[in-house]
Amino acid sequence: MTTSWLRCTWLLAIYAFLYLPIATLVAYSFNDSKMVTLWSGFTLHWYGDVFRDRDLMEALGLSLRIAFSSATTSVVLGTMAAFALVRFQGFRGKAMLQSMVNAPLVMPDVIVGLSLLLLLVALQRALGVPERGAMTIWLGHTVLGMAYATVVVQSRLQEMDRSLEEAALDLGARPWKVFTAITLPLISQALISAWLLTFTVSLDDVVISAFLSGPGSNTLPIVIFSRAKLGLNPSVNVIASLTVLLVGMCVLAGSLWLARREKQLSRELAAAMREH
């Protein structure tokens, strides 16, 4: 009795701690007053302002482009790394690859950003390329994204049942065919979540982007950060509440889709069992 009471309070308290701050931002975004924390009435006009804000909209476009390309690159490279780490036995440098994949997960962003920038500057001195901008931010984000993607795909590959692949190989399918026809569909869910995760990681990053951005290549977080540092800002509240709305809808749609797929799978399984 006492433990279940303690469990409920503890769980509720932590969830409140995690969610209340975000909820206040959403509430503040409808506040009419310019003084963000003093409530003076409901309004939607900050939302209109945000969509007319050219700096914000350009930054959003750039961020989305970078996030899209870095997520795609990260998932391709991360899947390769995960395959190498799970499927290939004891090649030289395996331990090193594993720690190079783990390290960016915990390495402070300032160090990743600074070191990559200094390398790029040294390259630029020697070769004249690359110019700092969207390209260099993309490179930086792939380092971080690859680490996340590898971890996600690696854990899926480890728990995967290999008998289907082996059966296909026994029946004479070529390895590439086995990979595209069997392995890829089996790990597709992990690939999708890895892509979404690396997409958000890229869309969220301030520090690495700040080091690697050039003149005129401000990503959305850089713009938000420079405004938020100065104090509370209605446009930032609006972006926060739009983000929450978007994420909430995606998660809802995703879980509905998953639930439906699961139901369908179990129905098909039951049907198959009946036929036998």
Partner 1 sequence: MNTPNAPVTQVQVAQRTPWLAAWGPRMVIGLPFGWLGLLFLLPFVVVLKISLSEMNESGIGYKDLVDWQDGLVVISLRYSNYLFLLSDKLYLMTYLSSLMYALTATVLCLLLGYPFAYFLARSPASIRPGLMMLVMLPFWTSFLLRIYAWKGLLDNNGLINQLLLALGLIDTPLAMMNTPFSLQIGMVYVYLPFMVLPLYANLVKMDLRLLEAATDLGAKPWTVFWRVTVPLSRSGIVAGSMLVFIPCVGEYVIPAMLGGPNTLNIGRVLWDEFFSNNDWAMASAVAIVMVLLIIAPMAWFNRIQAQQRGAT
Site for partner 1 in 232-251 (CB under 8 A): 232, 236, 239-240, 243-244, 247, 250-251
Of 44 and 249, CB closest to partner 1 = 249
Out of 28, 30, 46, 195, the only residue in the binding site for partner 1 (CB under 8 A) is 28
Tell me: does residue 221 bind partner 1 (CB under 8 A): yes
Rounded least distance, CB 269 to partner 1, Å: 20
Q: How far apart are CA 262 and CA 239, in angstroms?
A: 34
User: In a 3-state reduction of DSSP, which class is residue 42?
Assistant: strand
Tell me: does residue 187 bind partner 1 (CB under 8 A): no
Rg (C-alpha) for the chain, rounded Å, is 23
Q: Which residues contact 156 (CB under 8 A, 6 or more apart)?
A: 187, 189, 190
Tell me: does residue 59 bind partner 1 (CB under 8 A): no
Out of 109, 132, 160, 186, the only residue in the binding site for partner 1 (CB under 8 A) is 109
Rounded least distance, CB 275 to partner 1, Å: 23
Q: How far apart are CA 76 and CA 171, in angstroms?
A: 28
Tell me: does residue 68 bind partner 1 (CB under 8 A): no
Q: How far apart are CA 65 and CA 141, in angstroms?
A: 12
Q: Which of residues 1-20 bind partner 1 (CB under 8 A)?
A: 7, 10-11, 14-15, 17-19
Of 257 and 274, CB closest to partner 1 = 257
> Among 67, 215, 205, 55, which Cα is nearest to 131's?
215
Q: Which of residues 145-164 bind partner 1 (CB under 8 A)?
A: 146, 150, 158-159, 163
Contact region for partner 1 (CB under 8 A) — 54-62, 112-120, 182-190, 265-273? 112-120
Of 172 and 274, CB closest to partner 1 = 172
Q: Is the CB of residue 240 less than 8 Å from the CB of residue 25? A: yes
49 C-beta neighbours (distance < 10 Å), count: 13
Tell me: does residue 225 bind partner 1 (CB under 8 A): yes
Rounded least distance, CB 45 to partner 1, Å: 19
Please give the C-alpha separations between residue 89 and each of 82, 85, 102, 153, 270, in angstroms, as whole numbers. 12, 8, 19, 17, 38
Q: Is the CB of residue 46 less than 8 Å from the CB of residue 234? A: yes
Chain position carrying tokens 């308290």: 13
Out of 38, 126, 270, 273, the only residue in the binding site for partner 1 (CB under 8 A) is 38
Size, binding site for partner 1 by CB under 8 A: 91
Out of 60, 64, 72, 84, the only residue in the binding site for partner 1 (CB under 8 A) is 84
Half-sphere CA count of 227, side-chain side, radius 13 A = 16
